[in-house]
Chain A
Amino acid sequence: MSNLQLTQEGHLKHFITIEGLSKEILTNILDTAESFIGISQQQVKKVPLLRGKTIVNLFFESSTRTRTTFELAASRLSADVISIDIKTSATSKGESLLDTIRNLEAMHVDIFVVRHAISGAGHFIAQNTAPHISVINAGDGQHAHPTQAMLDIFTIRQHKHEFSTLKVGIIGDILHSRVVRSQIQALNTLGVGEIRVVAPKTLLPSHVEQLGVRVFNNMEKGLDGLDVIIMVRLQKERMTSALLPSEREYFTCFGLTEERLKLAKADAIVMHPGPINRGVEIASSIADGPQSVILQQVSNGIAIRMAIMSLILQNKEDAV
Chain B
Amino acid sequence: MKKIHIANGRIIDPANHIDQTGSLYIADGKILSVLNPIADFSADISIDATNNIICPGFIDLSVRLRDPGQTHKGTLQSETIAAASAGVTGLCLPPDTQPVIDTQAVTELINDKAKKANYSQVYLIAALTHQLAGKELSSMAALKQAGCVAVSNANAPFANLLVLRRAMEYASSYNLLVILHPEEPSLSNNGCTHEGFFSTRYGLPGIPEASESIAVAQYLELARLTGCRLHFSQISCKAAVIKIQQAKKYGLNITADVAIHQLHLTENDIEPFNSSYHVIPPFRTTKDLQRLREGLANGTINAICSAHQPHDLDAKLGAFPETEPGIASLETLLPLMLCLVEDNAITLSQGIACLSQNPASILGINSGTLTPGFNADVCIFNATLNWEVNQQNWKSAGLNTPYWGEVFKGRVTHTLQSGKIIYTLK
Asked whether, in the complex, the Cβ of B203 is within 8 Å of the Cβ of A211, the reply is no
Asked whether, in the complex, the Cβ of A120 is within 8 Å of the Cβ of B320, the reply is yes
Residue of B nearest to A204 (CB): B200
A42 contacts the other chain (CB 8 A): no
A210–B197 alpha-carbon span in the complex (Å):
7
Task: Out of B196, B197, B203, name the residue touching A178 (CB < 8 Å).
Answer: B203
Asked whether, in the complex, the Cβ of A208 is within 8 Å of the Cβ of B200, the reply is yes
Residue of B nearest to A208 (CB): B200
Q: Which residues of B contact A205 (CB under 8 A)?
A: 199-200, 206
With contact pairs A118-B319, A119-B320, A124-B273 given, residues A143 and B203 touching in the complex (Cβ less than 8 Å): yes
Residue of A nearest to B273 (CB): A120
A128–B316 alpha-carbon span in the complex (Å):
13
Q: Which residues of A contact B108 (CB under 8 A)?
A: none
A144 contacts the other chain (CB 8 A): yes
Bitwise, B173-200 to A at CB < 8 A (1) or not (0) is 0000000000000000000000111011
Q: How big is the B interface, by class?
A: 20 to 34
Q: Which residues of A contact B199 (CB under 8 A)?
A: 205-206
Residue of B nearest to A207 (CB): B197
With contact pairs A1-B272, A120-B273, A124-B273 given, residues A207 and B200 touching in the complex (Cβ less than 8 Å): yes
Asked whether, in the complex, the Cβ of A210 is within 8 Å of the Cβ of B200, the reply is yes
B321 contacts the other chain (CB 8 A): yes
Asked whether, in the complex, the Cβ of B321 is within 8 Å of the Cβ of A181, the reply is no
A24–B345 alpha-carbon span in the complex (Å):
45
Asked whether, in the complex, the Cβ of A206 is within 8 Å of the Cβ of B206, the reply is yes
Asked whether, in the complex, the Cβ of A207 is within 8 Å of the Cβ of B317, the reply is no
A116 contacts the other chain (CB 8 A): yes
A121 contacts the other chain (CB 8 A): yes
Residue of B nearest to A127 (CB): B273
Q: Which residues of A contact B321 (CB under 8 A)?
A: 118-120, 141
Bitwise, A175-218 to B at CB < 8 A (1) or not (0) is 00010010000000000000000000000011110110000000
**Closest approach, in angstroms, between the C-beta of A136 and any C-beta of chain B?**
16
**Closest approach, in angstroms, between the C-beta of B23 and any C-beta of chain A?**
53
With contact pairs A1-B272, A206-B208 given, residues A116 and B200 touching in the complex (Cβ less than 8 Å): no
Asked whether, in the complex, the Cβ of A121 is within 8 Å of the Cβ of B319, the reply is yes
Q: Which residues of A contact B322 (CB under 8 A)?
A: 118
Most buried by A among B201, B272, B317: B201
**Closest approach, in angstroms, between the C-beta of A187 and any C-beta of chain B?**
15
A140–B208 alpha-carbon span in the complex (Å):
22
Residue of B nearest to A182 (CB): B203
Q: How big is the A interface, by class?
A: 20 to 34
A294–B206 alpha-carbon span in the complex (Å):
32
A47 contacts the other chain (CB 8 A): no
**Closest approach, in angstroms, between the C-beta of B189 and any C-beta of chain A?**
9
B250 contacts the other chain (CB 8 A): no
A107–B197 alpha-carbon span in the complex (Å):
40
Residue of B nearest to A141 (CB): B203
A98 contacts the other chain (CB 8 A): yes
Q: Which residues of B contact A207 (CB under 8 A)?
A: 196-197, 200
A97 contacts the other chain (CB 8 A): yes
A158–B36 alpha-carbon span in the complex (Å):
87
A314 contacts the other chain (CB 8 A): no
Asked whether, in the complex, the Cβ of B195 is within 8 Å of the Cβ of A206, the reply is yes
A window 104-150: CB within 8 A of B: 116, 118-121, 123-124, 128, 140-144
Q: Which residues of B contact A178 (CB under 8 A)?
A: 203
Most buried by B among A96, A140, A144, A205: A205
B318 contacts the other chain (CB 8 A): yes
Most buried by A among B199, B272, B317: B272
Asked whether, in the complex, the Cβ of A143 is within 8 Å of the Cβ of B208, the reply is no
A121–B272 alpha-carbon span in the complex (Å):
12
Asked whether, in the complex, the Cβ of A211 is within 8 Å of the Cβ of B200, the reply is yes
Bitwise, B317-357 to A at CB < 8 A (1) or not (0) is 11111100000000000000000000000000000000000
A287–B317 alpha-carbon span in the complex (Å):
43
Q: Name 10 extra pairs, CB < 8 A, besides A98-B318, A141-B321, A206-B197.
A: A116-B319, A119-B204, A120-B272, A124-B318, A143-B203, A206-B200, A206-B206, A206-B208, A207-B200, A210-B201
A-B contact pairs, 21 of them (CB 8 A): A19-B201, A96-B314, A98-B317, A118-B322, A119-B204, A119-B320, A120-B204, A120-B273, A120-B319, A124-B273, A124-B319, A124-B320, A140-B203, A141-B321, A143-B203, A143-B204, A206-B199, A206-B200, A206-B206, A206-B208, A211-B201
Top 8 closest A-B pairs, CB basis? A142-B203, A143-B203, A120-B273, A205-B200, A207-B197, A120-B319, A121-B319, A118-B319
B residues near A (Cβ < 8 Å) are: 195-197, 199-206, 208, 272-273, 314, 317-322
